Amino acid sequence: MAAMKLGILLLATMLSAAPLSQSPTPAVFTKAMAERPDVRAALGYIDANFDKQVAEWITLTEIPALSTHEEKRAAYVMAELAKIPGLEVSKDEIGNITVIRRGTGGGPTLVMAAHMDTVHPMDADLKVKKLPDGTLHAPGIFDNTASVANALQTLRAMNAAKIRTKGDIYYVFTVQEELGLKGMYYWFDHHPNLATMIVASDGGLPDVNYGALGIYWSKMKFTAPGAHTLNSRNQPHPARAAAACITGIYSIPLPPASDPVPVIYNVGMMGGGTVVNAIAPENWFTVDLRTIDPALLQQFDAQIMAQCTAAAAAFGVTFTREFIQKSEAGGRPETLAPRLAHPIVRTPIEVLKYLDMTAITTPTGSTDANVGIVHNVPSVSIGRAKGGNQHSLSEWADEASAKFGAQSLLLIVIALAELANPG
């Protein structure tokens, strides 16, 4: 995601204007926390067991987990969680795994999310190849299998070092993230008012994303009774309505390219009809609309809908819209600016600094953290490793960087959930 420049001050709107929830505010990470003996032991555990972490990362990557087909990967995660004492583990109807590591009391409730699903087909070649330059190559190795391996390792490390936190820590291994964050939306709906903060592990190191890109995926459908070509004169015509609507959509002016908050849309798929010699009873196309500004998201969606409604009327057909994905927008950079001072953003920045990395903060994002952001729960997404080409067959990750991924995750979790006295 490209960083977005700070821009023109607009009145704050809707969700993004509400204050952040104020329930127990954790301290920002400090070096002293990392240097406590128990925390050093946990970091040392990750260091000493990094070869096992990499082996598990490879094992996980080679288990196919296309969105909605995460069962086998989830079974592996469940089996590993069962070996870690003291955790409460459960699985919900759609396949999200929830782990609770209880705190000693009086701290915030921290929710850590890592999605298990990938975009890669179940029959894709997922065999991981290690290159001499220290990189690992396989579809899904980076997005988001590295996070799942990191998360498991931090749970083991906390136990090995007997780390106690005041707050309860929830680890949610989500499903269907790649289908519009469906797993996390489901989880959040079933755990309302629980999370004080949400940290999603997703994206590359050293990213810290504290905003949410709004994404509406719509399927626009135009229907009519249909008619043979010979009888088609002046009949209701779904294909003509769809064509007129697409033309209309592309006549909607976009903000100038220099605008600090871009809006973009795209008609990516079209279909309908089965024969050459008849008006099709249905023609459809898809629209992908994106912006971080909630007001602009509504405004452009309304304009697109108006084009479709007008086109349907002009050609005498019925118009319906089906949402394929509906992820709300988190807010403009100036609206989100106060969040930069919150421990949810300060802590990952300070942790990365402690590990000799400089955070790249952006007021956007497209991860499970979005669900918290649009519900006004302080939330952030953090990187899991260095890598690239995600969602492609040439996906890769830097092996050594995953150690920093796991260690930074551990430090962020213990800081935000507040360290208690050693147990």
The answer to whether the beta carbons of residues 395 and 385 sit under 8 Å apart is: no
Stretch that binds Zn ion, among 36-44, 48-56, 86-94, 142-150 (CB under 5 A): 142-150
Q: Which tokens sit at 45?
A: 């555990």
Q: Closer to Zn ion by CB, 96 or 144: give it.
A: 144
d(CA 123, CA 375): 37
Nearest distance, CB of residue 115 and Zn ion, angstroms = 6
Which residues make Cβ contacts (< 8 Å) with residue 28, sequence separation at least 6? Answer: 343, 346, 347, 350, 415
Nearest distance, CB of residue 295 and Zn ion, angstroms = 27
Q: Closer to Zn ion by CB, 80 or 202: give it.
A: 202
Q: Which tokens sit at 38?
A: 């128990």
361 counts as binding Zn ion under rule CB under 5 A: no
DSSP for residue 133: T
Stretch that binds Zn ion, among 57-65, 135-143, 242-250, 302-310 (CB under 5 A): 135-143
Nearest distance, CB of residue 274 and Zn ion, angstroms = 37
Stretch that binds Zn ion, among 80-88, 139-147, 218-226, 239-247 (CB under 5 A): 139-147
Q: Closer to Zn ion by CB, 283 or 366: give it.
A: 366
CB contact burial 277-301 (16+ within 10 A = b; e otherwise): eebbbbbbbbbbbbbbbbbbbbebb
Sign of CA dihedral 183, 187, 192, 198: negative
Q: Closer to Zn ion by CB, 103 or 204: give it.
A: 204
Nearest distance, CB of residue 91 and Zn ion, angstroms = 20
Stretch that binds Zn ion, among 122-130, 143-151, 338-346, 396-404 (CB under 5 A): 143-151
The answer to whether the beta carbons of residues 164 and 101 sit under 8 Å apart is: no
Size of the site for Zn ion (CB under 5 A): 3
Beta strands, E only, 92-177:
97-101, 110-115, 129-130, 135-137, 169-174
Q: Closer to Zn ion by CB, 280 or 382: give it.
A: 382
Nearest distance, CB of residue 365 and Zn ion, angstroms = 10
SS3 292: coil
d(CA 403, CA 297): 38
Beta strands, E only, 176-257:
197-201, 207-209, 214-223, 227-228
Q: Closer to Zn ion by CB, 215 or 308: give it.
A: 215
143 counts as binding Zn ion under rule CB under 5 A: yes
The binding track of 175-204 with respect to Zn ion, each residue x by CB under 5 A or -, is: ---------------------------x--
70 counts as binding Zn ion under rule CB under 5 A: no
Stretch that binds Zn ion, among 42-50, 64-72, 141-149, 248-256 (CB under 5 A): 141-149
- R_g of the chain, CA atoms, integer Å: 24
d(CA 77, CA 144): 14
Q: Closer to Zn ion by CB, 202 or 418: give it.
A: 202
Among residues 144, 145, 327, 364, the one that binds Zn ion under rule CB under 5 A: 144
Stretch that binds Zn ion, among 37-45, 86-94, 144-152, 342-350 (CB under 5 A): 144-152
Q: Which tokens sit at 416?
A: 């935000």
d(CA 175, CA 240): 39
Q: Closer to Zn ion by CB, 242 or 382: give it.
A: 382
Nearest distance, CB of residue 217 and Zn ion, angstroms = 17
Stretch that binds Zn ion, among 24-32, 140-148, 249-257, 330-338 (CB under 5 A): 140-148
DSSP for residue 229: G
Compute how many other C-beta atoms are within 10 angstroms of the C-beta atom of residue 370: 30
Q: Closer to Zn ion by CB, 206 or 236: give it.
A: 206
The answer to whether the beta carbons of residues 124 and 63 sit under 8 Å apart is: no
Site residues (vs Zn ion, CB under 5 A): 143-144, 202
